[in-house]
Structure 1
């Protein structure tokens, strides 16, 4: 039977692409770069006092797989290899330092077909789409004349901040979907303390004659200085716990200023730079934490 081709282009030499190459490349990147970055993000690990011990992840390696692919399929086991890390432990009091290789976990391996063998069953892992870190803005209308604004600040690691305007013009913030707190209380907790200082940052944008958002928020804010702002935020996040300026400040610092607990990521800081016309170094983890200026930029 003679084959007839009606296409204008020749398809005789067409080579089908490797349809699993994306999976293979992604897994290879994770082994070569992603895993190293992940360990770097959590290193070093201090004891709870921060004064006794410090554990640092120095390097890692994958040993040979325990079983071949065929054996894993036949025996209903996982195709995996031991992941070992080289760690350094420092005693801060004595200055003693020791390095050792430790077993961390059994690490699933990808087959040349782009699949994993889990308990003897061959499976394909589909990448999940997630929201990119950074600031997202929204606008909704409840009537012809009333508009409500909202924003979300999404980090790669740490607490989300959700901003929203109320019917009376008050701007409130939810921290990790906890109870609302006036946005000005957050600013005071971050060091923008007085009413005049807060107003100065928004005098050129809060110009609506019908609704003065910043003034309405200040009037609804029970706090009037940094300590009161810290306590107000603390009470919303940990209701029922005794609130003092010291423990509130420690909580805020640990939640938003500690790179191990809060990280916008390179992508998040890059997007913030683009949106707000800034040039902050995205490589420095200390500059990827939350700043008072970030909150001011979002509110503006």
Structure 2
């Protein structure tokens, strides 16, 4: 057996000593906490917009039928390859405007009475574009998505919980309601 101790003795109060085995030479790799948000936004821009448009169209009103031309989504990104993203972000912050993308789609308008068809490129709208840092610039100010952990409703038991004021041990029951504040 090796003589190296794999723990450190720590004192808790005048009589209590505990072995702390948490001392380690290995460090954990840092994970990219923004990857979930970035992947979700990328999926929305590349796939979900197409799927939503296919669910909504065609639209028919009397003698006119409006249909979406498949795979015709054209996203105009907020920065060109000539300028860098950071330059555009700084410009948006200085001017107090959005860092956003314009989304164009092709719609086919058909007159059902005459059979006449016409295809046009239409601006669907502008949506804020996520920066490489995982934030959005809206009206010149940077906004971030904050993921939140939520405790499930139910009963939570704590056995041997220490009271900070009197230093006593006790058992604790905490009930979290499904509706209302906790």
Return the TM-score normalized by structure 2.
0.60
Match in the other structure for 2:107: 87
Matches of 1:72 and 1:16, distance apart in 2 = 31
Q: 1:234-253 to 2 correspondence within 5 Å? A: none
Residue 9 (structure 1) shift: 5.1
Residue of structure 2 equivalent to 1:38:
52
Q: Distance in 2 between matches of 1:64 and 1:26?
A: 17
Task: Count the aligned residue pairs.
Answer: 122
Are 2:22 and 1:7 equivalent residues in the alignment?
yes
The equivalent position to 1:77 in structure 2, one of 97, 106, 111, is 97
Larger radius of gyration: 2
Question: Corresponding residue for 1:22?
Answer: 36
Structure with bigger helix share is 1
Equivalents in 2 of 1:119, 1:53: separation in Å?
A: 38
Q: Which residue of 1 aligns with 2:66?
A: 55
1:111 to 104, 107, 131: 131
Query: Shift of the alpha carbon at 1:122?
Result: 0.6
Of 77, 84, 102, the residue aligned with 2:122 is: 102
For structure 1, the residue ranges without an aligned partner over 5 or more in a row are 129-300
Extract structure 1 runs of 4+ deviating beyond 4 A. none
Q: Secondary structure at the match of 1:99?
A: strand
Q: What is the distance in 1 between the residues matched to 2:147 and 2:115?
A: 45
Corresponding residue of 1:65: 78
Cα separation, 2, equivalents of 1:37 and 1:29: 11
In the aligned structure 1, how far is the partner of 2:115 from the partner of 2:74? 28
Question: Unaligned regions of 5+ residues in structure 2, if any?
Answer: 1-6, 9-20, 80-86, 149-182
The offset of 1:116, in angstroms, is 0.7
Q: Which has the higher strand share?
A: 2
